[in-house]
Structure 1
Amino acid sequence: MARQQLLGLFLVLAIMVAVVWGDPSGGCDQDRQDMIRECKKYEGWPAEPKIEPSKACCAVWQRANIPCLCAGVTKEKEKVWCMEKVVYVAKFCKKPFQPGYQCGSYTVPSSLGQ
């Protein structure tokens, strides 16, 4: 009986940890979906013209887990997302990347010139 109680307590603790800290991949997946829905038209190829993003896109930027999103950027995704435009949108939305920041294989230049 004590073993079952201990197992039950462990299960309750595991659920509490998941609720409090959340599932990092799940949160990132939602951020990714939101970014695609709200920002793709501002961050896709070609590199020009750069268009000011919508308020909805900026709202996604403000709440998104950018390190998590950047960790998932592959060479294939860089064929869809123009990283130069991603940096532009981040800056416009007042959540700029720091120079030298690595997002996928793209390194944010020290002189953005934007």
Structure 2
Amino acid sequence: MAKILSLFIFVAFAMVVVANASTTSIGTEGICIGDMFALIPKCIMYVIGPPGAKVKPSQECCDAWLKVDIPCLCSKVNDDVEATIDMEKVVYIADYCKRPLTPGSKCGTYTVPTAGL
């Protein structure tokens, strides 16, 4: 059952990303979308769910996180994405994987806190 739920969440999140990406140009934007599709299956289970307890991400998630264009990905975060993922968990993953988000920067409408969570 958990695998089915994870697959459903992945597909739903991917649809949001594709819908958001359909208005962007090819080129570096395409790379950014590719980064997101590489990141989603490795990390989605660590950023969804109710706010609260954070789970240490897998090494595969961290490996994917270390390769993505973070500013580009943050530019793709819209209301639909923010309704699906917990941005505080994203900050936790970034910190845990030793590639933190820049304090004070924006990722969608979320402002990265200046102190660790």
Q: Which runs of 4+ in 1 moved over 4 A?
A: none
CA distance in 1, matches of 2:50, 2:94: 17
2:35 equivalent among 28, 31, 34: 31
For 1:110, the equivalent position in structure 2 comes to 114
Question: Which structure 2 residue ranges, 5 or more long, are not aligned?
Answer: 1-25
Q: Which residue of 2 aligns with 1:57?
A: 61
In the TM superposition, residue 25 of structure 1 has moved relative to its aligned partner by: 1.6
Q: How many residues align?
A: 92
Identity fraction in percent: 41
TM-fit CA distance, 1:81: 1.1
Q: Distance in 1 between matches of 2:58 and 2:96?
A: 10
Superposition map of 1:1-114 within 5 A: 23-112=27-116, 114=117
The Cα shift of 1:60 comes to 0.9
| TM-score normalised by length of structure 1 | 0.76
- Cα shift at 1:67: 0.6
Give how far 1:85 is off.
Answer: 0.2
Rg larger in 1 or in 2?
Answer: 1
| Aligned partner letter, 1:77 | V
RMSD: 1.3
Corresponding residue for residue 19 of structure 1: none
Unaligned stretches of 5+ residues in structure 1: 1-21
